[in-house]
Amino acid sequence: MWYDEENIYSQVKGIDMAINEEVWLSVTGLGNDGVVVSRGNTKELGNFNKVQFYKSCLRNQESVSRTYNV
C-alpha cells in the first residue's frame, strides 16, 4: 500500500487500485457534507452533546464507561 496527496494505492491480485475520496464515499455509502467536529469548535454547533456523540461511536452503546482523573 502506498499513497500520495490525493489517493491511496493498493494492489489486489496483481492489479494496482487507486482509492480516492469519491471512490471511498461511494463504497461506504457516506456523504461528504455537514460540519467537521473537532476539538474547540463544538460551541459553534449549538446543542452538540460530546457524551452522546462519543456513545454513538461505540459498538455497544450500553456499555459502562469508567473515567479516571490523573
Report pLDDT digits (tens) over 47-70: 777 788 777 777 776 666 666 666
Q: Over the chain, what is the mean pLDDT? A: 77
3-class DSSP state of 3:
strand
The answer to whether 4 and 11 have CB atoms below 8 angstroms apart is: no
CA–CA gap between residue 2 and residue 40 (Å, rounded):
32
pLDDT given at position 66: 66
C-alpha cell at 30: 457516506
**Would the pLDDT of 16 be above 80?**
yes
More confident residue, 17 or 59: 17
Cα angle vertex 46, ends 21, 34, to 5°? 15
| Model pTM above 0.75 | no
